[in-house]
């Protein structure tokens, strides 16, 4: 392992953080705009919105286990990382043609973008672990998520500047779609400076067998699956914000989403440090509890002012679970199955993400927004209860 003596996060991890920052600037220029673009410009129904996000995220997460296993099999990380980031980058400017074809093209391009994410994520997360000792694992993933989410602050800010300057007609959306390609391709070029080191999987071909993983890892995956069934896409939060903001709803919804990403970014590294100090189980459980409470807030809130509080607190949920969950999962699997294990972790979300977003869209369309958020809160609170009682503490 690298940098075990001076207790510093590897420069390789920092480079990967910069790549994620640039990529998230690109992705988050589009992510908060796509639900508004779909429903207002292309006239897509809420059920279609749920279908698009659910299917895209499912493809992404299901690919993560295959790409992770393949990475362990061939003993390589970088080809998956570079290929995945490149595929996502080239999906961005093609969104312009959806103005001619309609929302089904958005579905295909979101699948293309998430396919790239599915190819790169497990290998990238394993590469971070390859260069990080156990004692710094939470900190390394926390730093990576902090830089990633900082890009998620800058991306909506860039979109906001474009929309404020150009208005909210179709030409403004075209401009954002095209400019989003620039930071994405810069991130791909930066990847060529990332190093890769040999690992055990290069010499021992891993077999994908569920029994190869230990009991604690399996329980963790099962509980994460329970949570993921209710964890629908954030686009529903953005749509709800747009409904509550009466003046400049698109701009205000973008600002609220930026606030979420800001608290996510600020909280990620401290959350990783806290997990290294007191254990991932406590930190992860706290994050799930916050998620449930925020979703209950969205279910019963009718004040646009309260939205700022809810989005800010929601950022802390992500900070407490995203990097911490990856660090926790990475410690439960052996090195030769590390990328495979990370793929299983992501797939546990992917198996449920299609159902979660599709159910959320149908609940909203049939019963109203409140049913969507109560459903998500119930799944989160059930998951945190199971997590506290079934999973032993692991530092």
Read off the pLDDT of residues 175-226 as tens digits, 9 standing for 90 and up. Answer: 888 898 999 999 999 999 888 876 654 445 555 666 767 777 888 888 888 8
Task: Give the pLDDT confidence score for residue 371 in this predicted structure.
Answer: 93
Question: Which domains are seen in the chain, by residue range?
Answer: 11-193+212-390 (1.20.1250.20)
Mind giving me the DSSP string for 249-261? HHHHHHHHHHHHH
**Which two tokens mark 376?**
């998500």
DSSP symbol at 392: P
pLDDT tens digits for 247-300?
777 778 878 888 888 898 888 888 888 888 887 788 888 999 999 999 999 999
pLDDT (tens, 9 = 90+) of the chain, 395 residues, equals 334 344 677 888 889 989 989 998 998 888 778 877 877 777 777 777 777 777 777 787 778 878 887 887 777 888 899 999 999 999 888 888 877 788 888 888 888 988 898 889 888 888 888 887 777 877 888 888 888 878 878 888 888 888 777 766 777 788 888 898 999 999 999 999 888 876 654 445 555 666 767 777 888 888 888 888 888 878 889 888 888 887 777 778 878 888 888 898 888 888 888 888 887 788 888 999 999 999 999 999 888 889 999 999 999 998 898 888 877 877 777 666 777 777 788 777 767 777 788 888 889 888 888 999 999 999 999 988 887 777 654 44
User: Shortest CA distance to 58 belongs to which of 115, 103, 124, 121?
Assistant: 115
207: how many CB neighbours lie within 10 A of its CB? Answer: 12
Residue partners of 280: CB distance under 8 A and separation at least 6: 138, 324, 325, 327, 328, 331, 394, 395
Distance CA 129, CA 13 (A): 9
Predicted model pTM: 0.69
DSSP state at residue 102: -
Rounded distance between C-alpha atoms, residue 145 and residue 240, angstroms: 26
219 three-state secondary structure: helix
Tokens of 153: 């602050």
Contacts of 328 (CB under 8 A, 6+ apart): 220, 275, 280, 281, 284, 394
């Amino acid at each position: 392992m690298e940098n075990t003596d001076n207790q510093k996060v590897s420069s390789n991890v920092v480079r990967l953080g910069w790549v994620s920052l640039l990529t998230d600037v690109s992705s988050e220029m589009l992510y908060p705009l796509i639900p508004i673009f779909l429903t207002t410009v292309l006239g897509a129904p809420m059920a279609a919105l749920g279908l698009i996000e659910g299917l895209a995220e499912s493809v992404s997460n299901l690919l993560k286990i295959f790409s992770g296993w393949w990475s362990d099999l061939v003993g390589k990380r970088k080809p998956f990382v570079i290929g995945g980031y490149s595929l996502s980058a080239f999906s961005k400017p093609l969104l312009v043609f959806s103005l001619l074809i309609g929302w089904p093209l958005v579905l295909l391009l979101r699948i293309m973008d998430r396919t790239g994410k599915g190819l790169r994520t497990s290998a990238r997360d394993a590469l971070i672990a390859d260069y990080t000792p156990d004692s710094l694992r939470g900190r390394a993933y926390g730093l990576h998520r902090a830089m990633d989410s900082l890009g998620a602050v800058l991306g909506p800010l860039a979109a906001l500047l474009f929309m404020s300057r150009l208005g909210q007609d179709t030409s403004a959306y075209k401009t954002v779609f095209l400019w989003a390609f620039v930071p994405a391709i810069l991130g791909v070029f930066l990847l060529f400076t990332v190093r890769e080191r040999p690992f055990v999987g290069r010499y021992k071909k891993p077999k994908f067998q569920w029994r190869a993983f230990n009991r604690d890892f399996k329980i963790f995956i099962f509980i994460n699956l329970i949570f993921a069934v209710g964890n629908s896409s954030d686009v529903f939060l953005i749509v709800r914000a747009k409904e509550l903001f009466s003046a400049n709803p698109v701009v205000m919804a973008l600002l609220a989403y930026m606030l979420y990403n800001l608290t996510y970014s600020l909280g990620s590294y401290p959350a990783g440090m806290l997990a290294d100090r007191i254990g991932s189980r406590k930190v992860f459980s706290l994050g799930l509890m916050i998620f449930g409470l925020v979703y209950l807030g969205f279910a019963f809130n009718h004040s646009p002012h309260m939205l700022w509080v809810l989005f800010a607190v929601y950022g802390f949920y992500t900070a407490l679970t995203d990097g911490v969950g990856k660090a926790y999962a990475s410690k439960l699997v052996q090195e030769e199955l590390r990328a495979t294990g990370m793929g299983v972790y992501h797939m546990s979300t992917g198996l449920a993400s299609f159902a979660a977003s599709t159910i959320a869209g149908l609940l909203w369309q049939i019963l109203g927004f409140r049913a969507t958020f109560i459903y998500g809160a119930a799944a989160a609170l059930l998951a945190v209860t199971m997590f506290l009682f079934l999973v032993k503490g692991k530092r």
